Amino acid sequence: MVTVNNSDYYNNIPAGRDLNNLPNTSSADTTVGYQYDGLTEEDRFVQKVLQEHYDKVYKENLSHSDPMAYIESKYCDVTSPNFCSYMTEDQRSIAYRNEKRMLQTGGKYSAGFARYDYALRNYKDVYTGGSRSVGYVRNTDREKQYARSVVNQQISNLLSKNGISISKQADLVFSIDPYTYQLTVSGNADRDILSQIEKLLNEGDNAKNIWTHAWICMHDADNEIVNSQANMTKANQYSLWHEVYETTGYDARNATYKNGTFIAEDGTDLLALFKEKSKNGAGYELYSKRWLQYAKNGWKKENDLVLKIGFDSSGLYDIGQEKGYGAAQNMWMKGVSQSMFEARV
């Protein structure tokens, strides 16, 4: 057993937190993770209205010869007859981001639940007006803070169960591969301890869930990336790999570009297989075009979305962003919650 002093941080976590609220897709032996769920009826209503609105607008945008230029004319060009002058600047901004993102992802709506969205203007019970400052979104700062304390407690329980404590001097970094979700641990602890922690956090889907939690915390209330580790180029490469792998079962990085397609090591034409098995035609068009772009320069390792998150005696802390959710980083949230121990959702 490894015996070192531990912080009393975890003892301050309020009772009643559901530490078994793991992501629905978690495999057996998973003990770490948080399910971003728990939508209220109002949340579900907002989600439904916005989903239907942006699905409709997405199809309308595709009817134009240059969908992206049309989107820009609506929200960025004040001289255009298409310009939406009846919206506030915040409303044009979120509509632009949502429509652009759907164009980039083949019609997948993945924005937040902003109640200042112009599409909600006729629903007075949920519409908050045209200002972002009073709009409401899911995966709020408070929920991320709550999730952080849950994940911290889960990690603490896992380490304690296996006889591992973290000293107040410890400063570790968890690095997680975006494809295999393999987690590696580095830092100022004995190599044997680092190896033990690494082994435990790679059980089940622990590492995948930590990666997902870190990724969610790297976005602001409008779902924009605010961490220097990530950008849309990396996010696009990540989503492309997973789309190809989940559709075909092949690793896109190992394919060879030849005669306008990608050939697997066993000779399979992956682009043809991808088209055959794709469930979404628009999604196939998007990802196949994105994939072919990689043929020009090959798969760039520097654009892999490897995420790093720090870990010390107070739990996880964010690396590469101004506003973090670690115990020593969250003073900016004073207006939301005095400390992470008081977080509620």
Q: What is the mean pLDDT of residues 234-262?
A: 90
Question: 338-341, long-range: CB within 8 Å, 24+ apart, which pairs?
Answer: 340/145, 340/146, 340/148, 340/149, 341/12, 341/13, 341/14, 341/149
At 187-243, the pLDDT tens digits run 999 999 999 999 999 999 999 999 999 999 998 876 789 999 999 889 989 988 998
**Dihedral sign from CA coordinates of 284, 287, 293, 294:** negative
Mean pLDDT value across residues 260-284: 85
pLDDT band at 344 (very low <50, low <70, confident <90, very high): very low
User: Among the listed ranges 41-55, 83-97, 133-147, which one has the minimum average pLDDT value?
Assistant: 133-147
Mean pLDDT score of the chain: 84
d(CA 28, CA 170): 30
Using pLDDT thresholds of 50, 70 and 90, give the confidence band for residue 134.
Answer: low
Confidence class of residue 298 from pLDDT cuts 50, 70 and 90? confident
pLDDT greater than 70 at residue 2 = no
Q: Is the pLDDT of residue 343 over 70?
A: no
pLDDT at 178 over 90: yes
- Residue 252: burial class (beta carbons within 10 Å; 0-12, 13-18, 19+): buried
Q: State yes or no: pLDDT of 4 exceeds 50.
A: no
Ranking 40-54, 169-183, 234-248 by mean pLDDT, the lowest is 40-54
Strands (E), the chain: 171-176, 183-187, 256-258, 261-263, 307-312, 315-318
Distance CA 303, CA 123 (A): 42
Q: How much is the pLDDT for 345? A: 30
Structural domain spans, the chain: 20-36+140-222+305-342, 41-134, 232-303
Maximum alpha-carbon separation in the chain: 71
Q: What is the mean pLDDT of residues 129-148?
A: 71
154 has pLDDT over 60: yes
Structure tokens at 274: 């991808």
Nearest CA to 109 out of 49, 64, 40, 69 is that of 49
- In the predicted structure, residue 6 carries a pLDDT above the cut 50: no
